[in-house]
Amino acid sequence: MITNTWKDLEEKINKKTVAVIPIGSIEQHGLHAPLGTDYFIADGFAKTLKDNEHTLVIPTIPVGVAEYHRHFSGSLWVKPETLKSYIGEIIKSIAFHGIKKVIVINGHGGNREPLKEMARYLKMEENIEVIVWTWFESIEKDIIDIFGVRPPLHADEAETAMLLNFVPEYVREDRYRESADGASKQWGKFHNGTMVSQVVKDFSKTGATGDPSKTDKDIGMKMFDMSKVNLEKLVEYMSGYK
């Protein structure tokens, strides 16, 4: 988008145009994965759409809802209300120019509920179609089939494997074991089956979950391919919708 002139962009926009907004997070991902993990994944999926004639890709938003990671250095966050307001206003500005179909590519679990609530109100109040797409939700059944369970999906073997598709140079494979030794087997602290804390320091010493030492690059490629196809089909659906 940002490489176009306003006139070029005006000529490109039509009734089938779908705006794509990637949103990540800057937060700790254990001892082996970069703070920008969720950013790199969201940005990477958005870039797979850059040559699609029906898409307008907005620059990736880096910071999301991640205050529960704050005890680990470098983690950044905004409040849920801030994220909803900021992204909502961006979408309204896009709609002003005639695009009322939007796909939010979300790379971070903590962004999901605020974004979905925002999407619901934009539909009801502004008649803007907004779909929030998160890669691990889009292929959740496949992920369960691959791993036998639903992984916790934070700096674990699944998310790390996905990250390797985008920025393998930033992944510290030599720290997989150390990261796994202090990781939690699940997301959250539980008591008698009830989650009692989502503050990461309460359940993970290293900030990781799952077992990143079991990261498999081939599985990551498989998940990427499935997610990419899922996203492309969603763009096709949204482009032809109404």
Strand stretches in 76-227, DSSP E: 101-106, 129-134, 189-191, 194-197
pLDDT at 164: 98
pLDDT at 54: 87
Token pair for 122: 């934009």
Residue type, 33: A
pLDDT at 146: 97
| pLDDT tens by residue, 177-195 | 999 999 999 999 999 999 9
Those residues of the chain that have pLDDT short of 70 are: 51-52, 242
| HSE-CB for 79 with a 13 A CA cutoff | 3
pLDDT at 1: 84
Distance (Å) of CA 40 to CA 5, 29, 54, 171, 233? 26, 12, 23, 12, 22
For domain 6-228, the CATH architecture is: 3-Layer(aba) Sandwich (3.40)
pLDDT at 52: 67
Q: How far apart are CA 206 and CA 178, in angstroms?
A: 8
Q: How far apart are CA 9 and CA 5, in angstroms?
A: 6
| pLDDT tens by residue, 1-44 | 888 899 999 998 999 999 999 999 999 999 999 999 999 999 99
